[in-house]
Amino acid sequence: METIFESIFDDLANGASNLSIPYRSRTATARSRLLPDAHDSSAAGVRPDGLVTFPGRTPHEANKFASLLRILEISREAIATGTVITKRNIYYQNTDLFKHQRVVDSLVDDLAFTLGVGRDDLNIVAAAKGLIAGPVTLTMRNNSVIPCGLSHESGTLIPTPKLIRKIDFGLTAWILVIEKEATFRTLAAAGYHTKSLAGHGILLTGKGFPDLATRSFLNIIHSARPHMPMYALVDYDPDGLSIVRTYQVGSSSLFHEADTIAPELRWLGIRSDQILPSTQSTETSASTQSSQETSDGSGHEPSIAERSGDELSQLNRTPRPMHNRNAPLEALSQLTPRDRRMAISMLQGISQEQRVGDTDGLDQMRELQMMLMLNIKAEIQAVDNLGDITHWLDERLCE
């Protein structure tokens, strides 16, 4: 970064006709081709990377140059003073210059990519939106202490991961990543992180699609405790699977951001076999020999009384009440055309990656195909018991 500023100052001192900032777009590079906005005609000669120059060929490029220069100034000052600035703050420095928040977001990420660093190395962070609840204590670099187990109702806002100096995990045995804030708040209010049969744990939500700070935080937790199990609880729909996959492998638009992925995250649910009526048989199936039933009657299914008897005997065989009942049909809904397009797009993405030994990918492909076959989706509420999902979670966390 200093080299960029020195180069600009030298050009100014020498009366050069152009000023330039190296710039590589992530999307252009992702397409395996460089897309330079301009070529530098300075005495330094043509560079292999693209450049944004001033005054440039278009007003758009001039604006881009000014925006990049401003972001570099802000980042440089943040690094020098040891502070961190959010992308939101950058936008508000010069709203007229940047015009839209997404312009700042995109330029910051492209700049990090060009310089070959993570966004955090520029001391620029996204405003965190993730919440955490659990018996852990975070000590920040400025020595402030954040206990995360006190706010039962609302959880604790995830701090800037870069500024965390130490995490005291206490008795924490697991972490559960939850798609929806409402589910998170319900579980936090119930104190599930300390009352679970699986022991103490951390509840974390990214409030839908996870931002980089939340993903970085999960990565930090995993780095500190590599063997602590991590689970994901999302809706049974393409968005839910997309969220799991983003935590596991990152998003395609930010592939240069290291330290933001959690490949060991396990998808706890919601899965097709947890919601479908009749896909879980309560009968003992003879796998080695066929069991043929014959009937002389009308072929009716067993009567309600008979089924109740089966269910009662099933209950008696377990030490805890069975909460494995299938979702009520009202909790299932039909995939929208957008859902189907997204599922197919994800199938394409996973099949293109074709990572060796990507068992998670194969598992996710199977579930996406099941969604498409069934043409249904379901929310987390599909498996709760009148709003209480704790028993369902206990069973799966204790497996």
333 binds other proteins (CB under 8 A): no
Among the listed ranges 63-71, 245-253, 333-341, 389-397, the one in contact with other proteins (CB under 8 A) is 333-341
In whole angstroms, what is the distance from residue 350 CA to residue 357 CA? 12
CB-CB contact of 384 with 333 (8 Å)? no
Other beta carbons less than 10 A from residue 80's beta carbon: 9
Helices 359-374, 238-249: inter-axial angle, 10-degree rounding: 170
Residue among 62, 347, 394, 395 that touches other proteins (CB under 8 A)? 347
Among the listed ranges 20-28, 43-51, 248-256, 283-291, the one in contact with other proteins (CB under 8 A) is 283-291
324 binds other proteins (CB under 8 A): no
27 binds other proteins (CB under 8 A): no
Residue among 32, 285, 316, 359 that touches other proteins (CB under 8 A)? 285
Residues annotated catalytic, as ranges: 92
CA distances from 349 to 352, 355, 373 (A): 5, 11, 19
CB-CB contact of 371 with 343 (8 Å)? yes
What character string, x for contact with other proteins (CB under 8 A) and - otherwise, covers 358-377? ----x--xx--xx-xx-x--
Residue among 299, 319, 357, 387 that touches other proteins (CB under 8 A)? 299
CA dihedral (220, 223, 225, 229) positive or negative = positive
3-state secondary structure of 376: strand
Chain residues 99-138 in contact with other proteins, contact rule CB under 8 A: none
CA distances from 106 to 71, 87, 365 (A): 11, 10, 30
User: What region does 299 belong to: left with phi over 0, alpha with psi -120 to 50, or beta?
Assistant: left
Closer residue to other proteins (CB): 142 or 278: 278
278 binds other proteins (CB under 8 A): yes
Closer residue to other proteins (CB): 3 or 294: 294
Residue among 226, 337, 357, 387 that touches other proteins (CB under 8 A)? 337
Among the listed ranges 135-143, 182-190, 342-350, 384-392, the one in contact with other proteins (CB under 8 A) is 342-350
Strands 376-378 and 332-334 come out as antiparallel
277 binds other proteins (CB under 8 A): yes
- Chain mean position to CA 49: 31
356 binds other proteins (CB under 8 A): no
Residue among 101, 326, 333, 381 that touches other proteins (CB under 8 A)? 326
Closer residue to other proteins (CB): 20 or 364: 364
In whole angstroms, what is the distance from residue 165 CA to residue 302 CA? 62
Residues that bind other proteins (CB under 8 A): 276-281, 283, 285-287, 289-304, 307, 326, 334, 337, 340, 344, 347-348, 351, 362, 365-366, 369-370, 372-373, 375
